[in-house]
A = this chain, B = another copy of it.
């Protein structure tokens, strides 16, 4: 039983992927200039409008740069961004991006009723049954992330077995057992001491650093209805988040 996120491939999307492939294939050759928009649109058999939509998306991500009167170029500085904070990715992928091998274990899995704060964050009635789950994530053999999540129990039809929890992330379980995709989230950042983290969690951890980066996030489904609240603590000696920003 696998429910995959269904994303139709528009022409623009597939063009964008072709351009990304083109860039990756020519990375070694040192080719930093793309063909002109006219040439590219003819070569791809599409209108210039569609090509420009694809290029515009890549430009807003920072992957390419366009210079009026000169051409379109690969932006090598933006490509140096590894652990991109502005992308919504799994904890495991974050560790992979940091160049490490990810693994995880479940610290905690239980039911809890929503207190006032949680009820407001998740837009549910106070007392509504929530699932509380805590993961410890390792980069190689070192603990890099502690993540705790809360979401309404009713989203899950049946509570999966421990094996399932051990093999999948919260988001995968919400997708497969709750048919709920987290499409966007709002994140708050704080720097906290290891001691503050352990007081919040209520137990000791194997995080080595004395200071950690705390990300508090509310995840929403496609209708911007809150579905999950998470608190994650990162050892920034191991996970260094990056961002590439463009002035508007």
Q: Which residues of A contact B (CB under 8 A)?
A: 49, 60, 62, 65, 67, 75-78, 80-81, 85-88, 181-193, 196, 209-213, 218, 220, 223-224, 226, 234, 236-237, 240-248
Contacts and interface: CB of A to CB of B under 8 A. Distances in A.
A87 B184 contact: no
A81 B87 CA distance: 16
Nearest to A76: B224
Given A77-B224, A243-B86, A62 B189 contact: no
Given A88-B245, A181-B247, 18 more contacts: A49-B49, A67-B223, A77-B184, A77-B218, A88-B247, A186-B242, A186-B243, A186-B244, A186-B245, A187-B244, A189-B236, A189-B243, A190-B236, A190-B237, A191-B211, A191-B213, A192-B211, A211-B211
A91 to B, nearest CB: 14
Given A60-B60, A191-B191, A245 B77 contact: no
Given A65-B224, A213-B213, A224-B75, A245 B87 contact: yes
Given A86-B86, A241-B189, A183 B246 contact: yes
B240 A186 contact: no
Q: How many copies does the complex hold?
A: 2
A184 B246 contact: yes
13 contacts: A77-B184, A77-B226, A78-B184, A80-B186, A81-B186, A88-B245, A186-B245, A187-B243, A188-B242, A189-B236, A189-B242, A191-B213, A193-B210
A186 B247 contact: no
A182 B78 contact: no
Contacts of A187: 242-245
A160 B61 CA distance: 36
Contacts of A240: 188-190
Nearest to A60: B60
Contacts of A193: 193, 210-211
